[in-house]
Structure 1
Amino acid sequence: MRKLIYGMNLTLDGYIAAPGDDIGWSEPSDELFQFWSDQLQATDLTLYGRKLWQTMSSYWPTGDQQPDATPAEIEFARRWRDMAKVVFSSTIDKVDWNTRLVTGDAVAEITRLKAEDGGPMDIGGATLAAAAMRAGLIDEYVIAAHPVLVGGGTPFFTALDNWVNLNLVETRTFPGGVLLTRYETRR
């Protein structure tokens, strides 16, 4: 059975985007960017909701060709293009860059993918992750909390029907006061 990981940058008050989908607060240090790149390298399959897919696919397919791209950004862009991805959406009809589109029941498809043999999967996008969280499908949470309060926006966590007990497995600090915590779901 595959492991499903939900990890993102978020504000100290728990938002992945401020009102208006503003993520200007989340500029990662080189060290944090490398952490996320290494996470991508260790992932067999990434699951995206539509909004995050559109954000990622608007830059990373050619991110390595930008004149000011750093070596880490070049590496990330190549990894991103080459890795297998699944986008869950009922409003778009085409995806590219080693990506498959799913328009049906996201929870059923994620459950099916988890049951397959293979390496870890990660999930991104608040709405998609919320559905997986409520269904009890997430095995690990990776939180890079930035020292900023935005007061509202898109929350990382969703309302739940039941408690989810977690075990802390890692803490790490990054430049700029970013605190990374990693938790595994107790089963």
Structure 2
Amino acid sequence: MTEHNHPEPWCSVFVGVSLDGFIARPNGDLDWLMGEGGGDSEEHGYNEFIAGIDAIVMGRKTFEKVLAFDKWYYGNKRVVVLSHQSLDLSTARSLGGVVETMAGTPGDIVSKLVASDAPRLYVDGGITIQHFLRAGLIQRVIISRLPVLIGEGVPLFGSVPRDIRFHHVMTRTFPGGMVQSEYRIV
């Protein structure tokens, strides 16, 4: 237990990636995720994953992309958008989203959320994932690799200051060719 009797934080990543390692096109587009092998005809473990999460932490660009989706995929889970700018949260709230903004280092964000009884975090968005990884705050990574090459885009992992070792937990395959692997950070 940490000080003030708060539970230890548990930060997870649940992300789709192209076969060539990108999470989005250079312009942030995710259209390739909805094609053959991806899509939401199956939920691929997402519902079970999100049920075990207290809050979702994402960057501003990811939030803006999520607002363009056909529905709000986070239910009534608390969504924290990292931004130093003020954001219009009304669209997300009109879709039923419980949304707020926060600023600070990854460590500050995790501390604030743990203190507000939200220790189990879903970290989403390329830059945000990279910042939390570099800060040593990610414990679990679930990567769904789709059978598509998009050629260029936003990489899942950027540069890291040191090797980050993973322990393989399990791998599942799905009709259509998607392969999903879960890892714990060693």
* Structure 1 CA distance for aligned equivalents of residues 24 and 80 of structure 2: 22
Determine if the alignment matches structure 1 residue 8 to structure 2 residue 2.
no
* Structure 1: 4+ residue segments shifted above 6 A: none
Instruction: State the Cα RMSD in Å.
Output: 2.2
Would you say the 8 A contact 1:4–1:139 is kept in 2? Answer: yes
Q: What secondary structure does 1:43 align onto? A: coil
Q: What secondary structure does 2:142 align onto? A: strand
Deviation at 1:29, TM superposition (A): 4.3
Paired AA for residue 148 in structure 1: V
Determine if the alignment matches structure 1 residue 89 to structure 2 residue 83.
yes
Paired AA for residue 77 in structure 2: M
Would you say the 8 A contact 1:11–1:146 is kept in 2? Answer: yes
Matches within 5 A, 1:95-110: 95=89, 96=93, 97-110=97-110
Aligned to 2:57: 47
Aligned to 2:5: none
User: Percent of counterpart pairs with the same letter?
Assistant: 25
Q: Which runs of 5+ in 1 are unaligned?
A: 64-76
Q: 2:45 aligns with which of 35, 39, 44?
A: 35
Determine if the alignment matches structure 1 residue 17 to structure 2 residue 12.
no
Cα–Cα, structure 1 residues 148 and 58, in superposed 2: closer, same or farther, change >3 Å? closer
Matches within 5 A, 1:70-81: 77=72, 80-81=74-75
Aligned to 2:167: 167
* Structure 2 CA distance for aligned equivalents of residues 18 and 183 of structure 1: 24
Cα–Cα, structure 1 residues 131 and 111, in superposed 2: closer, same or farther, change >3 Å? farther
Would you say the 8 A contact 1:2–1:117 is kept in 2? Answer: no
Deviation at 1:20, TM superposition (A): 2.5
Q: How many pairs align?
A: 170
* Structure 2 CA distance for aligned equivalents of residues 103 and 118 of structure 1: 16
Structure having the larger proportion of residues in helix: 1
Aligned to 1:59: 69
Cα–Cα, structure 1 residues 81 and 57, in superposed 2: closer, same or farther, change >3 Å? farther
Paired AA for residue 80 in structure 1: Y
Range 158-167 or range 22-31, more displaced: 22-31
Instruction: Return the TM-score normalized by structure 2.
Output: 0.81
* Structure 2 CA distance for aligned equivalents of residues 147 and 114 of structure 1: 37
Query: Cα deviation per residue 1:133-181 (whole Å; 9 max; x = unaligned)?
Result: 1111100111000111222110111110011111100100012100000
Cα–Cα, structure 1 residues 173 and 158, in superposed 2: closer, same or farther, change >3 Å? same
* Structure 2 CA distance for aligned equivalents of residues 50 and 80 of structure 1: 16
Aligned to 1:68: none
Would you say the 8 A contact 1:46–1:84 is kept in 2? Answer: yes
Q: Which runs of 5+ in 2 are unaligned?
A: 1-7
